Structure 1
Amino acid sequence: MSASKLSKIETGKLAPSVVDAEGILTAIGVSNEVKAEYLEAARAAATEATAWRLVRRIGVHKAQQQTRALEAQMRSLRLFQPALVPGLLQTPEYIRAILSRHDLGEDVLTRTISARIERQQALYDSTKELCFVITESVLRWRIVSATRMAEQIDRLASLSRLPNIDIRVVPLAAQQQDIANHAFVIRDDRTVTVETIHAEIVVTDPQDVSLYVRKFERFAATALAGEDMRATLASIRDGFLREQETG
């Protein structure tokens, strides 16, 4: 946390988020009882929302750096994504295609792409357990050209072989008992981040977090994993390559 942000919190000019409060309480070494008391008060408003327009105002690349700091501290991540390849798994070309839709200046765009790529170092930290569940439609949604989509799918297959990474694909043909409403990220089973059209929402109430954990587990149970998952990736990738050859 920057000194200026801490100063604003201390002087009452800025209300601390639950994550901010926990970081401060941990840093000053209060007892677990005191920490629990203050965090319960911070959770009185169980959900925090930060509008994307505010994120753009402070700098999208800075938001990426803040997310990287969170990911550096976490030990487990469970991410569900029904629309896009998760940011941690994206190729540089896919990242540029996604971020170019946000009307960023070239300088900010370049810095944000670099910040997201730097975040991907978390993938190679063997102390972290990372599980990604995506729907098959994510693999078919044409964010970039057929050739680039094939490269993106190859990256998923490669990363899925890392011992600390579990990538699963929910096939379109599978009978589902749940609805793929939106993407969400669960960190250490303590916080959930939800991205909506207008804002990023952080959920910290344990009861609400458990709802997302159960939803994630239901989709993970119906998803393809391991060699079955990689066979699906290969089939879709080959389709993109054939299309490029005949195009």
Structure 2
Amino acid sequence: MSTEAQDQRDALGARLRGFRRNAGYASGRSFAAATGFHESKVSRIEHGRQKPSEVDLRIWCETTGQQEQLPDLIAALRHINELWLEWKRQLSDGATSRQQKAIPVYAKTKLFRIWHPTVIWGALQTADYAEDTFKQVVSFFDIPDDIEAARDKRLERQKYLYEGDRAFHVLLGEQALYSNFGGRNVMLGQLEWLLNVMRLPRLSVGFVPRDAPLGIWPGNSFSMFDEKLVLVETYSAELSVTKPSEIEMYVKAFGLLKRSAVYGDSAKELIRGAIRHYDRYR
């Protein structure tokens, strides 16, 4: 769980603990007896180790005479839920809806900072490369097969590379040039496209060579949208970071990764090296 989500869960638990004490329930045991909760559940909720349900909040407020606080508590709980979204829930109707969800975020963003150690960033993908990544998504999460629609929606983001006064700072690990999606022909097409798209004036693409001295460990991929939102992807979930102090940590991490990156002709030579690698497999 993100530290922001945990901080808010802790704060919610402390608030509920205050309600209990103010209502005259000196111990979790006495409150558990009044509500029908298990005593350990009361303790876990109050100490941020368990997230209450909306029903739990309703019972808590009714028992402590704090019914007027219920709407605010439910809003806080729903915000915590949004901070950590399980992929299975996000992708329950297929991958297209998640791709659609990204479009308004891209439309509002002026400064993009992207880090991915192993995969080409979505807005720089070719159709064939994107299609193969979605094949893996559909298979891994066992979701409805909407590969072509999801691919097309992802490629729709590319229009923002050409529109407005946006700036894109993209950092990739050298491994991203070799992670094999779709086989030789797909990879060669993707690598050639990278060389072409790097000419865009609003786009800065750097690569962290595999033997580069590092100022920070590579970690998970993340995408920063201005300094308002950071999305971090794991195998099980997508984390939304909105707390300014946490966003500042990602700004710092991006800066440290950038120190290890190469740009311009050095970056293009890394791409050409990967092209030579795949070109051998005729």
TM-score, normalised with respect to structure 2: 0.68
Q: CA separation in 2, counterparts of 1:119 and 1:85?
A: 14
Out of 211, 215, 228, the residue aligned to residue 266 of structure 2 is 228
Give runs of ≥4 in structure 1 deviating > 2 Å: 41-47, 103-106
Out of 52, 61, 76, the residue aligned to residue 111 of structure 2 is 76
Structure 1 residue 244, shift from structure 2 partner: 2.2
- Greater CA radius of gyration, 1 or 2? 2
Out of 204, 207, 218, the residue aligned to residue 166 of structure 1 is 204
Extract unaligned runs of 5+ from structure 1.
Answer: 1-14, 16-40
Q: CA separation in 2, counterparts of 1:163 and 1:184?
A: 23
Q: Which amino acid aligns with 1:79?
A: I
Structure 1 residue 177, shift from structure 2 partner: 2.3
Partner in structure 2 of residue 86 of structure 1: 121
Is 1:52 the equivalent of 2:90? no
1:1-247 residue pairs with structure 2 within 5 A? Answer: 45=80, 48-101=83-136, 102-103=138-139, 104-106=143-145, 108-241=146-279, 243-245=280-282
Q: CA separation in 2, counterparts of 1:164 and 1:46?
A: 35
Deviation string, structure 1 residues 19-57 (Cα, Å, up to 9, x no partner): xxxxxxxxxxxxxxxxxxxxxx79985970111111122
Deviation string, structure 1 residues 81-131 (Cα, Å, up to 9, x no partner): 01211111111111111110123544x112111111112211112411011
Name the CA shift for 1:205/1:42 in 2 (closer, same or farther; >3 Å).
Answer: farther
TM-score, normalised with respect to structure 1: 0.77
Question: Does structure 2 conserve the Cα–Cα contact (< 8 Å) formed by 1:126 and 1:164?
Answer: no
Q: CA separation in 2, counterparts of 1:225 and 1:80?
A: 14
Q: CA separation in 1, counterparts of 2:164 and 2:77?
A: 32
Extract unaligned runs of 5+ from structure 2.
Answer: 1-53, 55-75
RMSD after superposition: 2.1
Q: Which amino acid aligns with 1:244?
A: Y
Deviates more, 1:202-211 or 1:137-146: 137-146
Structure 1 residue 59, shift from structure 2 partner: 3.8
* Number of aligned residues: 204
Q: CA separation in 2, counterparts of 1:44 and 1:150?
A: 43
Q: Which amino acid aligns with 1:181?
A: G
Question: Does structure 2 conserve the Cα–Cα contact (< 8 Å) formed by 1:48 and 1:202?
Answer: yes
Q: Which amino acid aligns with 1:94?
A: Y
Q: Which amino acid aligns with 1:76?
A: L
Q: CA separation in 2, counterparts of 1:42 and 1:226?
A: 46
Q: CA separation in 2, counterparts of 1:42 and 1:212?
A: 25
Deviates more, 1:97-106 or 1:71-80: 97-106
Q: CA separation in 2, counterparts of 1:46 and 1:55?
A: 12
Secondary structure of 2:272's counterpart equals helix
Q: CA separation in 2, counterparts of 1:143 and 1:46?
A: 33
